[in-house]
Structure 1
């Protein structure tokens, strides 16, 4: 399943909530109430980690089985990576009960513990390399590594009963209370705390922040630390208020840093789609499952509508097919390019004949069709100027909107080194239903041709989203019993 691959790829963590503003599920405190860490040999998995280590086969490891990250043609010790990899090695032993797997994990955990830099009342794993484009002072600490590392320390303590791992974990928890300027990982964002993946107080990386919260709660579940719970509660409250700032309308923001001249969007980085937008959807589902906070449900659903990829094979693709009445180069620039998850570069569909039509087949009857998003392959000249929108319902095509009917639009320019994308969101006038949508392009803004990298339509997908929630529940059922 693609959902499983996404979770494996990103080591997604299940999250729980605070006592005050949201419900604390009973199963979330059962382990601490029913067990004493001194009496157990294994603790539950760090949620959404697994025993699949094949993805790490190509990494370079040192003599202590610590992976090194290739960065700018150098191999560096990167805390986010080596703590995350160790969590998966623990999962391998948890599954196999093989002594050799246990020894490898403990070798890693010992070295990770020894790499903790203990300062006045707190400890951090430091990265000595400046990571662009973030404005960090080296060495710096990462909240994401702190969260992962908490899991490693508690797992190692359960296996060894070595108190030094607990002491290290307590130092790590304290780092969440320390400002970046003092060597910690905390920033203040509009009076709210934020635990920064990069020690740039203006960056606010979303997925790294959520990962760090998971470490705090994992520690609370197993140890019962009220300090960890307080820090987690503060973080959950902050995220429930600030999650709206990550909504880009057609996608989500990876972070809020703008030093590059534009916001970094999720699934718009690297040489291939990075799937961070899909990761955040799963993270928000996990938050909702543990907190029952509807804010996380609604933003998870909103981001789900914005997706361009299929999250799980058991859930049908948003679009079954797209047909065009005319294509300039169908062999390489056909309508299949409109159905992939790559909206920032690569091949596109184009036409220079007007009128031209695109027929979008949903594969089933859809209600509440409210929004259309077109991703132009270039500047605004690559997009349509005059067009009509038709809906197929009860075996009849009916006009829904023209370009003049649409109430408002949002424009977004995005540029990589070699490619441009111009995104326009069209909010339709009214709510429509049907099994197909047809776009009839009468001309283009540039006057010559239309070129689209991708296309998206918003309609009611509550059933599919709730089905995805059930899949996440099933995947995480072995994390805490």
Structure 2
């Protein structure tokens, strides 16, 4: 099968948003503190992002130590890839999350997408057939609904979305959805795969039709879960950058217009005050719910 080379640098830039200052295990793999009950846990999303971040640094510095960090993250993904359901392979979470409520074992569309993006780039530097097989099996999660072990769900209008947290009711987390989309596009480009390309286009059209649901008129929402949480300023910056990437990839004007609007929210003292007030009221509402 003919393959297309991906840019070594992942399109999202974590600079100023995430410093990846996590405890590392003996192999240099980050662990995330999940509270007193769970302690330190491996999070496939964090590990894949950590690898992509250091691969970006390798691309700009040619520092072999950065490449080794990225390769270690990829090796963890290979070693911890599991048979899941149907024909799907996945990075499976073996712990519950209190918020949203996914119960172990569960899988994440964001983890699947980021894992694919890192592994394909690592393969380009050192060919590994096992990595290619893993990406093919990981992609299958995007072909099945959550009820069948996949990561697909629907917006209220029926449009397709990929879930960061595979829950009922759907959480519809915006950044997780777009990171999943970028993984699908990487897969489509690398494999010259028409099924993945069609899936990316269908999902992008669905996002265009539903992007307004995340807009409050002065800020944006982190998700469309019934709790309707406002994004933090950091996550609003993440959303802006992700939409800018989609605008560049697709040429769709709605993404450009939304980027400009949400940037105005970030720079407006009035919008920031409304966000702060809304966040206080949100915490009170969630405390008593």
TM range (shorter): 0.7 to 0.9
Q: Which residue pairs with 1:381 in the alignment?
A: none
Moved over 4 A (4+): 50-54, 342-345
Give the Cα separation in 1 of the matches to 2:235 and 2:68: 33
Measured after TM superposition, the shift of residue 258 of structure 1 is 1.9
- CA offset digits 1:197-226 (Å, max 9, x no partner): 111242101111111101111222233122
Q: Distance in 1 between matches of 2:256 and 2:17?
A: 31
The residue that corresponds to 1:138 in the other structure is 104
In the alignment of these two chains, the number of paired residues is 281
Matching of residues 430-469 of structure 1 within 5 Å: none
Return the match for 1:174 from 140, 147, 155.
140
Aligned equivalents of 2:206, 2:219: Cα separation in 1: 21
- For 2:17 and 2:75, the matched residues in 1 are separated by 20
CA distance in 2, matches of 1:278, 1:103: 29
Unmatched 5+ stretches in structure 1: 1-31, 268-273, 310-317, 319-337, 346-374, 377-411, 419-481
Contact 1:135 1:199 in 2 (8 A): no
TM-score by length of 2: 0.86
Alignment of 1:41-56 (within 5 A): 43-49=7-13, 55-56=19-20
Decide whether the 8 Å contact of 1:126 with 1:139 is kept in 2: yes
More strand by share: 1
Partner SS for 1:110: helix
Secondary structure of 1:126's aligned partner: coil
The one-character-per-residue Cα deviations of 1:68-107 (angstroms, maximum 9, x if unpaired) are 0001130001111111101112122222323333333222
Match of 1:296 among 247, 255, 259: 255
- Alpha carbons 2:58, 2:66 under 8 Å: kept: yes
Return the offset for 1:51: 8.5
1:219 aligned counterpart, secondary structure: helix
Change (3 A) 1:298 1:101: closer
Aligned partners of 1:342, 1:124: CA distance in 2, in Å? 41
1:414 to 257, 261, 281: 281
Distance 1:298 1:53 in 2: 22
Partners of 1:48 and 1:289 in 2: CA distance: 12
Cα distance in structure 2, aligned partners of 1:99 and 1:278:
30
**Could you say which residue in structure 1 is the equivalent of 2:95?**
129
Alignment of 1:313-324 (within 5 A): none
> CA, structure 1 residues 177+344, in 2 after alignment: closer, same or farther (shift >3 Å)?
same
Higher normalized helix content (fraction of residues): 2
SS class of match (1:187): strand
Q: CA offset at residue 196 of structure 1?
A: 0.5
Aligned mates of 2:181, 2:138 — CA distance in 1: 13
